[in-house]
Amino acid sequence: MKSLRFVGREFQSESSVVKVGGVSIGGGDFSVIAGPCAVESRDQILSTARAVASAGAGILRGDAYKPRTSPYAFQGLGQEALDLLVEARAETGLPFVAEVVDPRHVEAVSSVADMLRIGTRNMANYVLLKEVGSQPKPVMLKRSRTATVGEWLDAAEYIYDSGNHDIVLVERGIRTFETSTRNTLDISAVPVLKTETHLPVLVDPSHASGRADIVPSLSRAALAVGADGLLIDVHPDPPRAIVDGAQALTIEEFEALMGQLRALESLLG
Amino acid sequence: MKSLRFVGREFQSESSVVKVGGVSIGGGDFSVIAGPCAVESRDQILSTARAVASAGAGILRGDAYKPRTSPYAFQGLGQEALDLLVEARAETGLPFVAEVVDPRHVEAVSSVADMLRIGTRNMANYVLLKEVGSQPKPVMLKRSRTATVGEWLDAAEYIYDSGNHDIVLVERGIRTFETSTRNTLDISAVPVLKTETHLPVLVDPSHASGRADIVPSLSRAALAVGADGLLIDVHPDPPRAIVDGAQALTIEEFEALMGQLRALESLLG
Amino acid sequence: MKSLRFVGREFQSESSVVKVGGVSIGGGDFSVIAGPCAVESRDQILSTARAVASAGAGILRGDAYKPRTSPYAFQGLGQEALDLLVEARAETGLPFVAEVVDPRHVEAVSSVADMLRIGTRNMANYVLLKEVGSQPKPVMLKRSRTATVGEWLDAAEYIYDSGNHDIVLVERGIRTFETSTRNTLDISAVPVLKTETHLPVLVDPSHASGRADIVPSLSRAALAVGADGLLIDVHPDPPRAIVDGAQALTIEEFEALMGQLRALESLLG
Amino acid sequence: MKSLRFVGREFQSESSVVKVGGVSIGGGDFSVIAGPCAVESRDQILSTARAVASAGAGILRGDAYKPRTSPYAFQGLGQEALDLLVEARAETGLPFVAEVVDPRHVEAVSSVADMLRIGTRNMANYVLLKEVGSQPKPVMLKRSRTATVGEWLDAAEYIYDSGNHDIVLVERGIRTFETSTRNTLDISAVPVLKTETHLPVLVDPSHASGRADIVPSLSRAALAVGADGLLIDVHPDPPRAIVDGAQALTIEEFEALMGQLRALESLLG
């Protein structure tokens, strides 16, 4: 990790706090970003936004553009989804984060979203990293499922070096031989990152596991290990979700989890 | 995992409790097994045993026989170490667990130890599994760093099918491409196992990470994720440890960790 | 691999032949694409082009834009490099392949290069895949070091479905725990792909191993296993290469290898 | 690999030749060891032995004791199988190799077999390594599917240091995320080992791939990359094999492969 200039602890010993809308990530509070994997309809995104806001989530997630392994899978609603996210924000007050996949769309998404997300497939898409590094909204950088911690920090360095210092890292599982989960959550990456970098670190237990049944226990582990928050899939009707329904919590499950996390946070805080 | 007969939840829905000396693993309490990786001297094992007992550990670890990657590395003190562990038990009251590596030694170790351990390199040594399955002391079965959860349960099935039902599983990290930690702790394996099997599950943050600096945060995560306890390296003078010093907590660090765990356990319990 | 429509053997049982300039890949001949990893100077690219042409390579490689892990590493000469590649082609008659990393550069590179390359980091950059799928030059698609064969074919499907059917796959090593080589060459992927798809398959022993000393033996293995050709790093002075010198063959080593491959090809052909 | 004393090239620059019965492994010829994964019946082993001898194999394989992932899978015929292997040798003149899994059986197997095999699950079973290192028959050491090349050589060092210098290494695939093959054949390990050690190196394409359809192409690649020979599964009726039938060649397929290998060897030799 010798090539780091700006995102390393040597450059800045104090932990960074990133502001998303009016919400802080990294300032000691445990932030929960929740919502559906993809925006599917007006009713779906509005009902989910209301529910996660009411349960205590600070930021809404919901994608307009989905990078999918197959070209024949649902690719997202695009601009229509962005409009619905704006409407959900107006109603609930929740700022929202949305993925960008094309450098030519960065300006359009940046003009409406509160935070841009770089997905796991694009962590090493340096063209896109420079583009989000050149606009003013904070950036959420997910780990590539095949990146070492060092390569991930190098990717963050691309964004920082392009002028944008508001970067949040999200551990979302790496690829291993184990098959009982979709990926293997590298929980150790959280304390390792806390040593190496001043940037905030979140955990995405939904994509890491692909299994809603273990998302609550992994969420508690993320809080206990020292993460700054969670990125979590919530859907009003998971079996009917178009994308990744098997890993989404129902609204009731999410509310129960939030209660557990609040109790744990008050102890560990 | 279709070949499971006895260790699966389908066979026994109630969670098993394993008795080691007078100590229970799996009955709802969070068990901490601590001590040096290898028994090195009388002074080392006795001072460590006293300290971990005083800090609240329930069981002592300390190996007499060490399987080492190189034939020229320290291989353990053998019978002398077993005698010292017996002495440490007499003084502190802590039962102890010791590794077996040779089917011809099982009877001798079983006659003095309170629990036998199968190390990661021997998880698929079916000859040894059958041998520990045919003696009365409880068995700790570490995951091979290359085993899927399904293969690990198959290994447990060998022990159970040989007649010994007192089996405790220990997640200790799997091999991946990540290099900032020695192995990658598969924390998700804990809730997955809780679904698949009735056997107790511990976490070994020391061998999983190889880094004492992140052992405390991984230990908290193990408790929060639902593990039944920890297996943890403690050494009175880690820099002078013959084996795996970089991952051992000092006695002071272990005492501090135990305080944190007690507070967390009272909340989560 | 159920989502494949066009690149699968079920759709087209006959093996595809892809034309690059006047050179065929996949028609039964063993194609060798050689040159420096990056274009560094006029003298470097011209001298290498002459040498590899004279030794029997059919296509020249040499990148103008380099995606690098660190933002502070050499990123390529850009347009200047493309001009030098055009000059090298005029002198030697070799068509050339160059990497594209930005969808906004595809048209410019496509207007001069004979073939476009998608590098390992961009295999799942679907925006870029669609862009190269919408222009007329053939496309070389390298495997992501973390992709299964199935995911790789899905990426090829993106290009095919966008209208471009001239696709060549390149196996270049996957990420594993082994450290004696930079990646692990998945040689089995070649015969597996020959079963699954009609597209030609090349092997890149240079990036797979990162070690020039074993590139010749891996090249022979690639021919023997049934690959349609090689993509290979050659540099006039590897110790002074700016990028990946440790894996580049000298011109003399490349000439010797070509002699071995010709003899082997005449036997296996 | 600093801990190597005896198996490294620094200790002995000349390549070792290991004698098995009257057959040499490592002396420049390409050795083929063939037979069924497990001895199943008198008819099966005798008919296979005659066929592989006739096709040019130099050594017979066939196991008496099988380590199996599940305790409820077929575990081998034991002593009865050893008696049948002795009979097959008497009739065909082929020496045979058989696996040992229990240190208490080493003497019995060693008294009849021409070579002992350590399987992938036991590569790090140091007790067993020392035991086979203390008897006079040559030893075949398969790589653990999770071992680095360095750890594998350390395991060979255990055998050598125990007094037995007749060691043959077998690459049989490592565990990765790829699922189209059972394991990932690490073909690069062959030339890497040729640099690091003087011991002969074979390739097992059957266990590496788990797919008979690609065994012939992987066998050619093994010869071309510089391996000293093959270990290969052959069965008179693969669909009815009790163990690993999907990866066994029929006798006809084996005969065809041997013809290809002889032609290739005469060119490369």
- Contacting chains of D (3 CB pairs or more, <8 Å) are A, B, C
Q: What is the ipTM of this complex?
A: 0.95
Region D222-231: mean pLDDT is 98
For residue B1, pLDDT over 80 is answered with no
Q: pLDDT value at position D269?
A: 67
pLDDT the model gives residue B268: 81
- Is the pLDDT at B210 greater than 50? The verdict is yes
Beta strand B229-233 with C139-142: parallel, antiparallel or unpaired?
A: unpaired
- Touching check for B9 and chain A: CB below 8 Å? no
CB contact under 8 A, B188 and A176: no
Tell me how close the Cα of D263 comes to any Cα of chain B, in angstroms.
39
User: Homologous superfamily of A18-268 in CATH?
Assistant: Aldolase class I (3.20.20.70)
> At A1, is the pLDDT very low, low, confident or very high (cuts 50, 70, 90)?
very low
Q: Is A226 left (phi over 0), alpha (psi -120 to 50) or beta?
A: left
Mean pLDDT of chain C: 94
Partner-chain contact D218 C225, CB within 8 Å? yes
Q: What pLDDT is attached to residue C68? A: 85
pTM above 0.90, yes or no: yes
Q: Tens digit of pLDDT for each residue in D42-77?
A: 999 999 999 999 999 999 999 888 888 888 888 889
Task: Give chain B's mean pLDDT.
Answer: 94
pLDDT at residue number B67? 83
Rounded to the nearest 10 degrees, what angle do helices A42-55 and A79-92 cross at?
A: 40
Report the chain A residue with the minimal C-alpha distance to residue B260.
A268
Q: C54 at the B interface (CB within 8 A)?
A: no
Residue of B nearest to D144 (CA): B146
Residues in B touching A177 (Cβ below 8 Å): 146, 148, 174
Q: What is the mean pLDDT of chain D?
A: 94
Phi, psi of A106 (to 5 degrees): -60, -45
Contact call for D180 and C213, based on CB within 8 A:
no
Nearest CB partner across the interface for D148, out of C180, C190, C218: C180
Answer whether B71 sits within 8 Å of D126, measured CB to CB.
yes
Average pLDDT over residues C52-81: 91
Neighboring chain A residues of B145 at a CB cutoff of 8 Å: none
- pLDDT for A28-82, tens place per residue? 999 999 999 999 999 999 999 999 999 999 999 998 888 888 888 888 899 999 9
Tens of pLDDT along A88-124? 999 999 999 999 999 999 999 999 999 999 999 999 9
The percent of residues in chain C predicted with pLDDT above 70, rounded, is 99
C225 vs D contacts (CB less than 8 Å): 217-218, 220-221, 224
Judge whether A182 and A165 are in contact, CB under 8 Å: no
Categorize the per-residue pLDDT at C2 as very low, low, confident or very high, splitting at 50, 70 and 90.
low
Neighboring chain D residues of C203 at a CB cutoff of 8 Å: none
Report A:153-182 residues touching D (Cβ under 8 A): 175-177
Q: Which chain D residues are Cβ-neighbours of A177 within 8 angstroms?
A: 175-177
Neighbours of chain C (3+ CB pairs under 8 A): A, B, D
Give the best residue of D177, D179, D181 to mutate against chain A (max A CB count within 10 A). Answer: D177
The mean of the pLDDT values for chain A is 94
Interface with C, mutate which of D187, D201, D257, D267 (most C CBs under 10 A) = D187
Domain C28-268, CATH: 3.20.20.70
Residue C104 to residues A102, C127, C162, Cα–Cα distance (Å): 10, 11, 17
**pLDDT at residue B180, as a whole number:** 96
Q: Is C86 on the interface with A (CB under 8 A)?
A: no
Distance CA B227, CA B28 (A): 10
Residue given tokens 């998971």 in the structure block: A238
Residue D16 pLDDT grade (very low, low, confident, very high; cuts 50, 70, 90): very high
Q: Is the Cβ pair A185, B181 closer than 8 Å? A: no
Interface contact A215, partner B, CB < 8 A:
no
Residue D85 CA to residue B72 CA, distance in Å, equals: 37
What number is the average pLDDT over the span D72-88?
A: 92
Q: What is the mean pLDDT of residues B130-144?
A: 97
What is the average pLDDT across A241-246? 85
CB contacts of B188 in chain A (<8 Å) are 180-181, 184-185, 208-209, 214, 218
- Minimum Cα–Cα distance from A159: chain C residue: C71
Partner residue facing A70 (CB), from C121, C122, C154: C154
What was the pLDDT predicted at A243? 82
**Which of B52-66, B237-251, C5-19, D92-106 bottoms out in mean pLDDT, i.e. has the lowest?**
B237-251
Closest CA to D110 of D142, D133, D88, D143: D133
pLDDT score, position C269 = 66
Tell me what pLDDT residue C1 has.
Answer: 45
H/E run at residue C46:
helix C42-55
Q: Using an 8 Å Cβ cutoff, are A142 and A120 in contact? A: yes
Could A220 and B225 be called an inter-chain contact, meaning their C-beta atoms sit closer than 8 Å?
A: yes
Which of C174, C175, C177 should we substitute to test contact with B (largest number of B Cβ atoms within 10 Å)? C177
Chains that touch A (3 or more CB pairs under 8 A): B, C, D
Transcribe C5-38 into DSSP letters: SSSBTTT--SPP-EEETTEEESSSS-EEEEE-SB
Residue from the list D192, D213, D267 with its beta carbon closest to the beta carbon of C181:
D192
Ranges of beta strands (E only) in C27-91 are: 31-35, 59-61
Say if CB D12 and CB D26 are below 8 A apart.
Answer: no
State whether residue A101 sits within 8 Å of chain C by CB. yes
Taking one residue from C and the other from D, the number of pairs with CB-CB distance under 8 angstroms is 123
Mutation for testing the C interface, residue in A1, A4, A11, A69 having most C CBs under 10 Å: A69
Please tell me the distance from the alpha carbon of residue C176 to that of residue C184, in angstroms, as a whole number. 7
Q: How many CB pairs under 8 A join A and D?
A: 5
Q: Report CB contact under 8 Å: A174, B174.
A: no
pLDDT above 80: residue A24: yes
* C177/D174 touch (CB, cutoff 8 Å), yes or no: yes
Between chains, do C226 and D213 touch, taking CB under 8 Å as contact?
Answer: no
Closest partner CB to B126 (pick from D3, D67, D127): D67
A96 vs A113: CA distance, rounded Å: 6
The residue with greater pLDDT, A199 or D241, is: A199
Cα angle for residues C151, C152, C157 (degrees, 5° grid): 95
| Inter-chain residue contact B225 with A226, CB threshold 8 Å | no
